[in-house]
Amino acid sequence: MKFLFRERAEKGFPDEPLLAATQTKGVVRKEDYGTRTVTATKDFHLLKLVETGDFVISLRSFEGGIEVAHCRGIISPAYTILTPKPEATQGYFSRFFKSSAFISSLTLFVTGIREGQNIDYERLSRAYMPLPPAEEQIAIGRFLDWANGRLDRAIHAKRKVIALLNEQKQAIIHRAVTRGLDPNVLMKDSGIPWLGEIPAHWEPIRIKYLLREIDERSETGLEPLLSMRMHHGLVLFAEHFNRPPQAATLVGFKKVRPGQFVINRMQAGNGVIFASELDGLVSPDYAVFDPIGDANVDFLGELFRSRTLRVKFRSESKGLGTGTSGFMRLYNDRLGAIHVALPSSEEQKAIMTGLAKELSGVNTAISRLEREIELLREYRTRLIADVVTGKLDVRDVAMRLPEETPETDTLGESAAEEGESDFGEEPEDAEA
């Protein structure tokens, strides 16, 4: 490897933009990277210079591969910066360094047992790398650009359909939890300006009579950590993320039991409020509630995530920032004072039964599309692995490709994952 790449350790460029090394998007400007990251505030002259086309070994590279830089800037001095020599084309090695075979081999060069393990580049630099002829490297890069463009477009199209189906689903749910199942139901003025008309036999009630806050903390941190995911609710962190935190860091986290509501106070206006089906722990910044009274837990959850309630939650949130930006929080006193309209407990159950039937086809379609996206991703991973390791010869195919290849997102197809997790996905460069 040392004959293919030169290590760059240039410092003293404090005016260059700060970069973030990410597993899914490569090395990009911090300002373009959506997830929160730890940002340096001083000693910028000590950060390392990165040029466009360089490769960066970060503290996450041992599990996600080596990232290519899409722009010039400065980055943590803890990272190793590699500049490719003429023999090593970016089109080939940017794919090879993210292939499953190469990532698996990195376990041979990891030092330490702590989270954020380091790759010992002194050892890695002596490792053997495949070196196809320059023409074949170019052919591989061209073919994978073309193939990834087609796969990205297919995945994007399926995501758009899923988004439309989710909009249709939310419209159906909103109508049911605010008007019931009878389209001809008699309406009345609720007496609350923002709530407007409600079914004549429903009654407005404040949320404080429906939820009671519970604050039970973990003393050991040994309970499973839960994560909030849009459209999925509370899920086990370990099933969706690669690096579950150590138990010691979870001491003091809030306990959650099945049937309890969890609210992300800063994202309540975006519908991040779910009833848990699992035992586990959530961030101490979240609020945990026991449902009280005659409210059906499933009905309440859909009501809280309805468009009307999301708008009201946003308007009642207080803090720095406006709208959904900044540190806006929905505090208990303001949450409890909000009115909602409720039917009888029997009608709540009937509404949820009716919704399950009406949404069956939509949910099936969404599940099928999500599975198709998963299969396309698996195909992409296998295709790249086979091409960059020479198991699949694409030289002839690359020669016959059209001159103009489909444009691909340099930040990667996974950049389109919006709002899937608002807690748990740790900063890519937190160790910096």
Distances (CA, A) of 372 to 107, 177, 235, 413, 415: 31, 31, 22, 15, 18
- The SS3 assignment for 198 reads strand
Residue with tokens 């910096």: 432
Rg over CA atoms, the chain:
26
Q: What is the pLDDT of residues 146-178, one digit of tens each?
A: 999 999 999 999 999 999 999 999 999 999 999
Q: What is the mean pLDDT of residues 310-334?
A: 78
Q: What is the pLDDT of residues 92-114, one digit of tens each?
A: 999 999 998 899 999 899 886 55
Q: What is the mean pLDDT of residues 335-351?
A: 94
408: pLDDT strictly greater than 50 = no
pLDDT at 134: 93
Q: What is the pLDDT of residues 121-135, one digit of tens each?
A: 999 999 999 999 999
User: What is d(CA 227, CA 142) in angstroms, rounded to the nearest whole number?
Assistant: 39
224: pLDDT strictly greater than 60 = yes
Count of CA atoms in the C-beta half-sphere (13 A) of 243: 17
Query: For residue 156, which amino acid is it?
Result: H
Percent of the residues in the chain that have a pLDDT greater than 90, as a whole number: 71
Alpha-helical segments (H) within 273-422: 297-304, 307-316, 332-336, 345-358, 360-388, 395-400
Q: What is the pLDDT of residues 17-45, one digit of tens each?
A: 999 998 888 999 988 875 555 555 567 88
Q: What is the DSSP letter of 392?
A: S
What are the structural domains, with CATH classification, of the chain?
1-131+408-432 (3.90.220), 133-180+346-401 (1.10.287), 188-342 (3.90.220.20)
The answer to whether 40 touches 432, Cβ cutoff 8 Å, is: yes
pLDDT band at 247; cut points 50, 70, 90: confident
Residue with tokens 């005659």: 294
